[in-house]
Amino acid sequence: MSQRARPGRRAAGERRFDLRTTALFFLLLAILLCVLGFLARTAVRLAEQRPLWAAALAVLAVGVALLFRSRWRRFSAARYARRTAEVLEEAAEEASDSLRTDPADEAEPASGTDGPGAGGAAPPAPHGHGGRSTAPLPPVADCAAELDPDGFEQAVAGLCARDDCRAVEVVGGAGDLGADVTAVTPDGRRLVIQCKRYTEGNKVGSQDVQRFGGTCFTVHGADVAVVVTTSGFTAPALAYAHECGIVCVNGQELEEWRRGTGPGPWERAEIATDPAAF
């Protein structure tokens, strides 16, 4: 079980400004000054009302000072003021640390055999962006019915991770500029994928591919740019993608990738640029 580390006492040369500590320091300093002022006012009143007592106390103070005259030479008002300020600041820091203590630390449950944390091991973090879990990709023919757009992006990211891509991340959402999944291919190239979860009769058109082509290389820095769909592409979309070097993966090719019987999109990019393939 991980436990939040509590703030420790800082060394004198490593102190940083803290508003709460500073406020407590000045509060304690104000209380000390009020006490000293009260004592001074009491001494003045005593001198006015009982001058003989005041004179006796003054003589006693002079005698004590002469008795300890060897130590008097080492007296330094600035030094004692510094020490007083340090003591006050230390007390303010301790009070600030006690106020800063998180109540959740005191209420942490003890490790046991019940609950998801049994055995002392934390559950693995879900793969993907924003804490969303990665679901396996169902047969492509069922994707439109079983997955929403976010789930489809997560499933495509899961295929990338399955095939040894690194730094797989789902980045789709508002303002994504066409990129839904980013990763690093096994051979070290940056992969940028746009996911289109379309029904069988709804093909990806040229405008969709053009919008992706305007950002995939210049904005996202793709080495391999891919559009993956559960349906197909129109002829103008395929022509534009071929001119720009964008890999188009239709529903059949996606199903082959899912089953492991076909290449991944980054491998299709190598096939498309290899003259021996034609």
**Would you state the pLDDT for residue 181?**
94
pLDDT of the residue at 114: 42
Sequence letter at residue 36: L
Most confident of the following: 11-20, 23-32, 218-227: 218-227
Torsion of CA 24, 26, 31, 36, to 10 degrees: 150
**At residue 93, what are phi and psi to the nearest 5 degrees?**
-65, -40
Per-residue confidence (pLDDT) for residue 140, from 0 to 100: 73
Distance (Å) of CA 38 to CA 32, 145, 157, 175: 10, 81, 73, 65
* 2: confidence class by pLDDT, cuts 50, 70, 90: very low
As a whole number, mean pLDDT of residues 200-208 equals 90
Q: What is the pLDDT of residue 247?
A: 96
Tell me the two tokens of residue 102.
């998180």
Per-residue pLDDT tens digits for 39-91: 888 878 877 777 777 778 878 877 777 776 655 555 555 565 666 666 666 66
What is the reported pLDDT for 173?
73
Separation of alpha carbons 249 and 243, rounded Å: 16
Overall pTM surpassing 0.95 (yes/no): no
- Domains belonging to the chain, first-starting first, are 17-102 (no CATH), 140-277 (3.40.1350.10)
Residue with tokens 């030479």: 73
Query: CA 245 to CA 242: how far, in whole Å?
Result: 5
- The mean pLDDT of 147-164, rounded to a whole number, is 90
Cβ neighbours of residue 143 under 8 Å, at least 6 residues apart?
137, 152, 155, 197, 230
Query: Contact 268/185 with Cβ under 8 angstroms?
Result: no
Q: What is the pLDDT of residue 76?
A: 54
The secondary structure element, H or E, covering residue 270 is: helix 265-273
Average pLDDT over residues 122-135: 42
The Cα–Cα gap between 175 and 103 comes to: 38
Of 201, 185, 3, nearest in space to 111 by CA: 3
pLDDT category at 204 given cuts 50, 70, 90 is very high
